[in-house]
Structure 1
Amino acid sequence: MSRGLDNFPNRHNSLNAIRLGLATAVIVSHSWPIGGYGDDPQLGQLTLGRLAVAGFFAISGWLITQSRESTPLPSYLWRRFLRIYPGFLASLIVVAFVFAPVGSALDAGSWAFSDGVAFVGKNLAVHMSQFNVGATPSGVPYPGNWNSSLWTLFYEVLCYLLIGLCITAVPGRWLATVVVTLWLGATALQVGTNLGGTVAVFLELAPYFLAGATLYVLRQWIPLHWSLGLVSAVITTIMIAVGAAPALAALPLAYLMLWLGAALPLHLVGRRNDISYGMYVYAFPVQQLLVLAGAGAWSVGWFVLASTACTVPLAVASWFLIERPAQRYRRAADNLWAARRITSSR
């Protein structure tokens, strides 16, 4: 495969299949602490779950930058909202009013309707500030947390806003320079500083997103070839194995994700029905409920299989009942934007 990244197969690629695999890797990683088997599998300074999240962000950097370049800012923001928020809100409601009361019945912990309302209300802004619902979940190896996975969505939204505003504010001829500078700056800050709080977490994830964005804005000059895919895999593996700062592996990891997306013959997986997001937002509560039902007594292998199998129906329901129907409203912002442009031109 010797074509360049500017000829990346946008319609026939395996990125959705890779994202589904990454979501499954998060399930595998979380199985250890949730099931009481020990800490997440560790790969250098990254757990398996964090490495999967890094892959998610790298792929998003490429796709979201592409989307913003071809879509006016209002439409872009509306489409990002529809892709993230309806499924997120639905997951909060399901956890608050289905998982939590069932969990309360299983472990005799306290739950009230007002607890569910409080949980949903405090997390409406995507930034997760409360993970428990009332006194649930309790009696589990990982208590007081129904859905730890959702914390990453806030930082993904920040990345959406960053690239969206960047493309709005920066002239086209300077865009590549600015995006590369942002990637280098975020990497340098992550490696060379010891900041705390929200900024530190953002800097932990932003280099991966910005690496994907960097590959997109430089796509005309970067070949898409198996040899570079192999080199990227080797560099990523070495960086992780020697315990280097994770952000240093962001660019080779992003290239590896794209090369696999072009090379793997899995383009039919998730092409029409992408359940990877649903797998990501529902796996953690499913695993907590399985432990409450006694699945923690099984081997970790069986627990992983059960967790995956029980999450799939919820992910499918999320796609068909929430996520895909929400996409029908994507053109609303397009039509409004077009109407405003016509009005302003008169």
Structure 2
Amino acid sequence: MRENNFDLLRLTAALGVFIAHGSLFYDLQISSFFNGVYSIGSLSVYVFFFVSGYLNFQSWSRGPQWASFATKRALRIFPGLLVAAFVSVFVIGGLMTTLDLTDFLAAEQTWVLFLNYASALATQNDLPGVFANNPIPHAVNGSLWTIKYEIMMYALLVVFGMAFGLSRRLLVAAVLVSAAAFLLVKDPSLDEGAVTWRDFWQFAAIFFAGAAFNYIPVNQRHWVIPPMLVGFVIACTGTNLAVVQGGVFLCLPCVVFLLAYWRPLTRIRLRHDLSYGIYIYAFPVQQAIAEISLRHGLSKPVYMVVALSLVLILALASWIVIERPAIAWSRSLVTSFRRYLVTRPF
């Protein structure tokens, strides 16, 4: 039996993003929490970053070598992302464009978007003649924008690990500085450009909170219940935006940590890790099915069921054909690299 529920939490987070986008793409409705500051989608993205920080701290601690760490992270992200970029642009985009397919493929914008997605930049989001009349117009795969921040967190983890060591004090300082920068600095210019620094700071706060939680013994996890409750009350009752966000920053990591080791959930066994596949395929599939559903008068439940079915099929195919083999390959490469370091003559 598994000792934790991180795979299940990631799957739940991926489905949370799917649900949040589902209503938005169909009729512009979205449920919000904590005085309208957060949706289930934005909270789910926080879950991803917390879990990533927690697990990648462990990965680095087991083998603090930047080349091995980078290899494993790159082969976890980019093979699936490359295929998802191709499917988003050339398959879904090619099927849904109102242009002649020859014109669509000849358009510079088509190829620019593919490269933009495949490189994890995701600073552009529209294709010629695609989703122009949807409730959320033009957006092809708007979920990919967070991946570049994930990669930046990996890089910071390596820099901190190599330069200073990932001590408890360093990680707590990283959390506090990042949270303070996000909550207190309100310069609008920080929200411009390929990297928006307010997003960087909020994700850094959650990611390094995940890393810092490794210093809390699992058998003493009950100590996070008081700050969790305090954060929840602050998030629910706060009238100032920064206060609400601060409450969520305090509450959510504690909730995820407690659920990660909640024994009843460990009985749920997942044969496949579909979370990444759901995340990278849901947006364009939902946009396509929303357009078809609205055109033909299909109800929202039908739209959601059809979209989820297709997304699960793509996610399963991505895991079996792309992601799992890439993970195995990365482990083989890292093992070979470590063997080379041990045996090479000096």
Common topology (TM > 0.5): yes
Q: Tell me, yes or no, if structure 1 residue 284 matches structure 2 residue 278.
A: no
CA contact (8 A) 1:232 1:256 kept: no
More divergent stretch after superposition (93-102 vs 295-304): 295-304
Partner of 1:314: 314
Partner of 2:61: 69
CA contact (8 A) 2:218 2:261 kept: no
Aligned partners of 1:266, 1:220: CA distance in 2, in Å?
Answer: 19
Q: What does 1:21-60 correspond to in 2, within 5 Å?
A: 21-35=12-26, 37-44=27-34, 45-60=37-52
Deviation at 1:52, TM superposition (A): 0.7
Partner of 1:201: 199
RCO higher in structure (CA 8 A, sep ≥6): 1
Q: Secondary structure at the match of 2:97?
A: helix
Aligned partners of 2:246, 2:156: CA distance in 1, in Å?
Answer: 18
Deviation at 1:105, TM superposition (A): 5.2
Aligned partners of 1:62, 1:136: CA distance in 2, in Å?
Answer: 38
RMSD of Structure 2 on Structure 1 (CA) = 2.6
Aligned partners of 1:272, 1:232: CA distance in 2, in Å?
Answer: 34
Deviations 1:66-94 (A, max 9, x none): 11111222111110111111111110000
Aligned residues: 330
Aligned partners of 2:279, 2:92: CA distance in 1, in Å?
Answer: 16
Q: Secondary structure at the match of 1:112?
A: helix
Q: Percent identity of the aligned residues?
A: 26
CA contact (8 A) 1:208 1:254 kept: yes
CA contact (8 A) 1:57 1:205 kept: yes
Query: Which residue identity lines up with residue 248 of structure 2 in the other structure?
Result: A
Q: What does 1:145-294 correspond to in 2, within 5 Å?
A: 145-171=139-165, 175-195=167-187, 196-197=190-191, 198-216=196-214, 218-220=215-217, 223-225=220-222, 228-229=224-225, 231=226, 234-243=229-238, 244-267=243-266, 269=268, 271-294=270-293
More divergent stretch after superposition (314-323 vs 302-311): 302-311
Deviations 1:34-55 (A, max 9, x none): 11x2242111211111011111
TM-score scaled to structure 1, two decimals? 0.86
CA contact (8 A) 1:149 1:280 kept: yes
Partner of 2:79: 86
Query: Which residue identity lines up with residue 18 of structure 1 in the other structure?
Result: L
Aligned partners of 1:161, 1:78: CA distance in 2, in Å?
Answer: 12
More divergent stretch after superposition (175-184 vs 287-296): 287-296
Deviation at 1:98, TM superposition (A): 0.5
Q: What does 1:115-134 correspond to in 2, within 5 Å?
A: 115-134=109-128
Deviation at 1:251, TM superposition (A): 4.1
Q: Tell me, yes or no, if structure 1 residue 141 matches structure 2 residue 132.
A: no
Partner of 1:4: none
TM-score scaled to structure 2, two decimals? 0.86
Q: Secondary structure at the match of 2:264?
A: coil
Query: Which residue identity lines up with residue 207 of structure 2 in the other structure?
Result: F
Deviations 1:81-118 (A, max 9, x none): 1111111111000011110011115999x722544322
Deviation at 1:151, TM superposition (A): 0.6
Aligned partners of 2:284, 2:204: CA distance in 1, in Å?
Answer: 26
